[in-house]
Chain A
Amino acid sequence: MNNAQDNPFRSEKALKRLRRRRNADMRFQGYGIVALGFALFALVFLISAIAWKASGASTYHVIRVDLELSPQTILPEGDASPEEITRNIEGFYSLVRNDLLTRFPEANETVQSKRAFSSLIDRMAVLPLAREVADEPHLIGQTTSVDVPLSDDVDMFLKGAAPRAIFLRVGEASSPMRNAEEGDFKIEVDRLNKVSAKIAAIGQHGAEPTVLLVADKSVGRIKSMEDGDVILEILTGRQDQFDGASVKAVIIPSPEDQRSVSDQQIAWALALKAEGVIKRVPHFSLLTHTDSTYPELAGALAALVGSLLTMLVTAAVSIPMGIFAAIFLEEFAPKNRLTQIIEVNINNLAAVPSIVFGLLGATLLLGTFGLPRSAPLVGGLVLALLILPVVIIAARAALRAVPPSIRSGALAVGASRMQAVFHHVLPLALPGMLTGAILGMARALGETAPLLLIGMVAFVAEVPSSTTDEATALPVLIYSWASNAERAWEPMTAAVIVILLAILVLMNLAVVLLRRKFERRW
């Protein structure tokens, strides 16, 4: 036994085999780690990309103005009924606009300039104010401070999203000198070379970039510049404000005719911002408003409530039905050909594409039974059918996990089969069943396709109050917002995705807690 070749711990062959096995082990673990790492990376990337996008919609810009709600404007006919008040959007709008217009005489000059100024705020933005006044008529005649959302184009500009703008501090300006042409003037600016350098760095896209200079509440557009000498055209404010003021430059590379906000509108927005009238505030209206064609006014409330109502119907139908079907199949049904066929089909049903269930709902529920279109009732029923197989399968697994000895124990003291199931097996299986049901519900919550087919894609401006009202759901809202062209919808869409994900995370958390609380106790 002294021979190394004979020693089973030392022999060449044994060591070689051992090495090979160890290598295979390592390789396998390596693959596992790589796969896991990739999945994790993808997940983190996805979540952070969405969260980053959505963060753009977490705040938005509003104009905060003190309004005197004068009866003449709000109640032109003298009728103070809530309907009349809410109908008079124009009155409220002119209140807000006229308050702002007093600051900008140049906006009053022509019809075009007035229209351009008006489009800083969308008309419908005053609807919440009108509703509030309609609810509380005693506000009429008083002065209140109101936040009116800025039009999405301006909001996007101020957030730096589109059109992209570069802000530079360029130091002090000299006192303005009158220029040859009317309205223009000439100043010297400390570090104008920074601006030229930046422009050079951006590169030319054909057109010259717009460069605005901002001093306090005055904004001018650069017409030409030569070694620190600038010829400036005033857009809003007064020349003398440039006198010795510290000046900010705003470089906007995209040409004016290719963007949705003009230089003039940008100037007004910058002036209002400098004055502190425009404020960036948390975007709560995303959760309190219903859908709108204006991004800054749109919110997910109707879809949220729609999803909730739909889920209620889904839960009310699929959970009891799934659990009872599972109990019957698992505990009572004879094991014969028929039940076998049913079993196989339940399993197959779980793999049917969801859109097929949508078709079923459209033809059967809408067509044959004549249920209302776009209603959470129908959506809930369709989704209930969709997740029923999943719920049944999970519930059966939960029942099977209850040891047979519990059943025998109950039967042996003279319980009937029904009593054994309902007194002993069901309480033990229920957490597992609910786990499956919640996971099924989570799937239903994210379903879009079947809801499209039964018309839950409608534009819904009213919060649905019953399961037969017209409604839409969160994933459908994401779908419709994502198909809008305007840039402002992008962060809004991402924000709704975050809301949806948050709800899903909560549901999964509930599952984890359920599992924790009711770990097997036998």
Chain B
Amino acid sequence: MDTTYDPALAGEGADDGQPLLYPRIDCRDVSVFYSGKQAVFDVSLPVFDRSVTALIGPSGCGKSTFLRCLNRMNDTIDGAKVTGEIFMDGENINSSHIDPVLLRSRVGMVFQKPNPFPKSIYDNIAYGPRIHGLVDDRQELDAIVEKSLRRAGLWEEVKDRLGQPGTSLSGGQQQRLCIARAIAVRPEVILMDEPCSSLDPIATARIEELIDELRKRYCIVIVTHSMQQAARVSQRTAFFHLGHLVEMGDTDQIFTSPRERRTEDYITGRFG
């Protein structure tokens, strides 16, 4: 299997639908402390490109905390400290000489609650490309906005009202707007923290379809509390418990023949 990485393909890669089984991000012994209290314990986890990795586990087990390590969002939390190494393109992105602003333009994030900016739909998408200087003129920007909205499956619904505030959309549309906003800065990795937990089943189904579509181009890590969702959308699953990574593997394998007792208990609903 080809494990060299071609940046030109990042986010724009060939749409061959096949998971690329080389680690896009490789975490080694990652621990997170909140004001000295440890929340994540020595997690080592490779995240593969062109696939969806689901992080599952009971509430409070450190899924979100771990996810935030991947784009250094923990930096914005007072008292949070991350140790260990997280490699991306051979660089340890957890070291101080990596600028988190640069990192976040390559690792996008979608939050639990849709959080569009209280600006127009257009400006929501255009903001990222503008601040990163990805475009030279209005036409290019229009193109990016359209492409991002198309990829997020929102274009047909909003193309006639790009000037309206993003907050005027429905919850599901807002979440797809946030996904489009993340896509617009041409990231290679997209992190999603329970992106459907505030949505109704129909909106959830649309987002899940979208994730399946996006995985052909991006490396996606999704936190979910729904095992069905993990089973439906992910190729790889990692099970967290009390801050420890208990087990990880192909989703099929985790759900059909978990190696660990705790995983089995959780999947069969004996706790969680």
Contact = CB atoms under 8 A, between A and B. Distances in A.
Chain A bound to chain B: yes
Interface of A: 334-335, 403, 405-417, 419, 423-424, 428, 521-522
Contacts, number: 68
A289 to B, nearest CB: 50
B104 A413 contact: yes
A406 B117 contact: yes
Q: Which of A334, A405, A407 has the most B CB atoms < 10 Å from its CB?
A: A405
A405 B115 contact: yes
Interface string B67-86: 00001010010100000000
Nearest to B129: A413
Interface of B: 71, 73, 76, 78, 101-102, 104-105, 108-111, 113, 115-118, 127-128, 131-132, 165, 167, 178, 181-182, 184-185
A417 B75 CA distance: 11
A411 B104 contact: yes
A414 B185 contact: yes
Nearest to A414: B105
Contacts of A403: 115
Contacts of A423: 127, 131
A405 B131 contact: no
Given A410-B117, A414-B101, 19 more contacts: A403-B115, A407-B76, A408-B73, A408-B109, A408-B111, A409-B178, A409-B181, A411-B76, A412-B71, A412-B73, A412-B109, A412-B182, A413-B127, A413-B181, A413-B182, A413-B184, A414-B132, A415-B128, A419-B131
Contacts of A335: 78
Given A411-B76, A423-B127, A428 B109 contact: no
A406 B116 CA distance: 7
A328 to B, nearest CB: 15
B17 to A, nearest CB: 27
Contacts of B118: 406, 428, 521-522
A80 to B, nearest CB: 66
Contacts of B108: 412-413
Contact of B115 (A408, A416, A428, A521): A408
B198 to A, nearest CB: 12
Contact of A414 (B102, B111, B113, B115): B102
A106 B92 CA distance: 109
A403 B118 CA distance: 11
A175 to B, nearest CB: 89
B263 to A, nearest CB: 30
A407 B116 CA distance: 11
Contacts of B101: 414-416
Contacts of A407: 76
A414 B104 contact: yes
Q: Which of A407, A409, A410, A411 has the most B CB atoms < 10 Å from its CB?
A: A409
A414 B131 contact: yes
A242 to B, nearest CB: 82
Closest 3 pairs between A and B when the two form their complex, measured CB to CB = A414-B105, A405-B115, A413-B128
A409 B73 contact: no
24 contacts: A403-B115, A405-B113, A406-B117, A406-B118, A407-B76, A408-B111, A408-B115, A409-B115, A410-B117, A411-B73, A411-B76, A412-B108, A412-B109, A412-B111, A413-B104, A413-B131, A414-B101, A414-B104, A414-B128, A414-B185, A415-B101, A415-B131, A419-B131, A521-B167
A376 to B, nearest CB: 39
A38 B266 CA distance: 64
A406 B165 CA distance: 14
A414 B109 CA distance: 10
Contacts of A416: 101
Contacts of B165: 521
A411 B104 CA distance: 8
Contacts of B167: 521-522
